[in-house]
Structures are given as C-alpha cells and as structure tokens.
Structure 1
Amino acid sequence: MTITLTKGQKVSLQKQNGGTLTSVRMGLGWDAVKKRGLFGMREQSIDLDASALLFDAGGTLVDQVWFRQLKSRDGSVRHTGDNLTGAGDGDDESILVDLTRVPATVSTLVFTVNSFTGQDFSQIENAFCRLVDEAGGGVEIAKYNLSGSGRHTAQIMAKVSREGSGWSMTALGIPTSGRTFHELLPAIAGVL
C-alpha cells in the first residue's frame, strides 16, 4: 500500500511483516509544461537532477551521489543515470540505496532535485519523488508530489534517517534555488 505523503510527514521504513527494508529506490519523475508557439504547442526540455547527500550525526557532508558522481565511495548508494529532458513515463531518474551497506557513520540521506538548465518549477508539471522497496519486488512505499508552480529552481525533496535499528523517511518539499546540490547546502543544514 502506497502512502501519499504531505510536506513534513514522516513514515517508518519497517515492512508490514515487521522486517526492515534493505534496499530502496528513490525515483524522480517530471514533465515539462508544453509551451504555445507559432506552430502550436511545443515540448521543451528541462534537465532536473536528483542527488543523494550523505550526512553524519554532526551534520557534516561525508559523501554525495549526483550526475557527476554516480556512486558513493563505499558503493551503498548508486545513481542510475542522468535524464536530460524528463521525457517518458515513470521515473526519469533513480537513486538506489542499499540500506544494509550505508556506513554506520551516516545518519541521514537527503534527496534533492535541481533544475540544471535553470528553468523554475512553474515550467514543470507532474513532478514527484517516490520510495520503492527494491528488494521487495519494486513495491511503492511512499510518494510525494513535487509539483506546484513557483519561482524556485530546486527542492529539498525528502530525507531518510536512521531510527533505532531501522530507517524513516520524511517528506520535506522545501523550495530553494540552485543549479547543483552545492548551492542547496545552506538550506539543507536547517533540516538535519
């Protein structure tokens, strides 16, 4: 059963049978708003980029996974590749996380999205992030709608945090601006 999250809502990543999730995928999907042109409606290309940032308990960034570094140094987090347009159905970009291999020093993973090409979110529609149980057959666990027009070019989507012996996910949906995750770090510091 998928949980549709609202901003600030937190969900435990424990399985229904009491087990803990071991491998998850954060999927990001979007469509560009069609523009009216001289010859009718035309598609535009918008390059959104998903990133996963790994933080220790003190809030220090210890590793990052994004289009220029597709794998964490330890291999526990992996980006499946950069989609430059948002074309197609379903997830346009995905980040796989093997929760059993995330180093014990990492307490929080923060997932962000930014418009590398600089368009703001008023030009994006049907945007979402979703968490999928990869080890459990690809079952969608939680989904968060990122759409909503705005002049921001980035969003801090969600965080996955250690909670006892398991993990939890919190939908953040914090609008901000920046072409890469580096420009989002000051805003991220406030959610750790």
Structure 2
Amino acid sequence: MAINLEKGQRISLEKSDGKKLQNICVGINWGAIVKKGFFGSKTEAVDLDASCALFNDAKELEEVVYFGNLKSKNGSVKHSGDDLTGDMGGDDGLDNEVITVNLGDLSPITTHVAFVLNSFRGQDFGSIPFASLRVYEGTPTRVNEVFAKYNITGGNFAGHVSMVLGVFYKRNGEWKFNAVGEPTRDKKLQETLETVKQQYL
C-alpha cells in the first residue's frame, strides 16, 4: 500500500515484501489551467519541468538530469522528456514527466538525489488545478507497485514558481527519502538547485 507522504516526512525505501527498492520512478502529474470568461472557459497550457540533481557527500553538484539533458552520464538516471502542456482535458491519471533512477547504478560517490519542479513560463503554482508526485517501482509506462504519493498543490504554494519535491539520501549504505514539498522564492532551475544545496542536503 502506498504511503501518503506529508511534508518533511522521511521514509526508508522498502517494499511491501521487505525488499529494498532499487529501480524507482518519480512521476509528476499536473493539469492545465482552466480560465473562465464571459464567453466560456479557456484552457491554458502549463509547462512544468521536473529535474533531478546528483550531489556527493561534500554537497558538490555532480550533474543534472532535466529536459535539456535527458540522461545521466552513466545512464543511472533518465528523464522521459519535456511535457509542455499538462493535462489539457482534466486529470487523466497519468504522469506527464517521469524520472527513473537505478540506485544500484549510481556512482559510489553520489549520496543525494534531489528532485525539483519549476514552472517554465512562470505560472503560479497556486493557479494550477492539480499536481502530484508519486514514487513507484516500474518504468515510465508500467507501474509495478506505487511506493509513495505526495500531493503538491494547495497550502503555501500560491505565489511561487519553484519548489523542492524531495531528496533521496544515502545513510550507512541505505537509501532513504525525504519528502520536502517546500516552495522556494527561486525563478530558475539553477537558483533552485542552490537552495537545495544550502537547505536540504
């Protein structure tokens, strides 16, 4: 059964059968903005960008996997590609962007794998009808077991265009997950990653 994560919650990466997760996917699902006017409603595309940053134990940024770099150097992290619109016809239940991570294939010096979300066109998170994060075992097109779900809409997201979704971190050789779920004042990906380095590693 999936864990409904709360902001700041930390969990170990253990499946229902007690085995540790190795091949994981982080999927982001979001909707387009529906604006109601005098002559009916209009749907406005939303371009959110999920990115994954790898850090070593010294908090040095190793590399970033995002829409402009879809695969890490050794292939352990992969991005499904850029979604420029979000769900235009309501929630279809499918992830718009998926980042896959093989924890076993990461470089031995990688100790933190951070996931962030940025609104490319600067559309306010508070105006997006729905957005969620889920961690699961499988592939971008096949879900074997949903490990955790995290709702990233509502609350204090209004007025922000950038947020830290969560951080996988390695302690004593074991991977764990911290569901951060915090908006930041940053406008660009590079700024968001600096916030991750300063506050969440």
Counterparts of 1:77-88 in structure 2, within 5 Å, are 77-87=77-87
Residues 57-72 of structure 1: pairs in structure 2 closer than 5 A: 57-72=57-72
Is residue 114–residue 177 contact of structure 1 (8 Å, CA) maintained in 2?
Answer: no
Report the TM-score when normalising by structure 1: 0.94
Q: Is the 8 A contact 1:158 1:173 kept in 2?
A: yes
- For 2:95, the aligned partner's letter is D
Indicate yes or no: 2:173 matched with 1:169. no
Residue 186 of structure 1 deviates from its aligned partner by 2.8
Structure 1 stretch displaced more, 157-166 or 70-79: 157-166
Q: Which runs of 4+ in 1 moved over 4 A?
A: none
Q: Quote the RMSD (CA, aligned, Å).
A: 1.6
Aligned 8 A contact 2:33 2:45 in 1:
no
**Contact map agreement 1:117 1:179 (CA 8 A) in 2:** no
Aligned pairs, number: 192
What's the TM-score, normalizing by structure 2? 0.90
- Please say if residues 80 and 99 of structure 2, whose CA atoms lie closer than 8 Å, have aligned partners that are also in contact: yes
Name the CA distance, whole Å, in 2 between partners of 1:188 and 1:120.
20
Alignment deviations for residues 46-80 of structure 1 (CA, whole Å, 9 cap, x no partner): 10000000000111100110000000111100001
Aligned equivalents of 2:10, 2:192: Cα separation in 1: 22
Distance in 2 between the 1:186 and 1:97 partners? 22
The within-5 A match list for 1:49-128 is: 49-87=49-87, 89=92, 90-128=94-132
CA apart distance, 1:138: 2.2
| 1:15-26 matches, cutoff 5 A | 15-26=15-26
The Cα of 1:140 is off from its aligned counterpart by 0.6
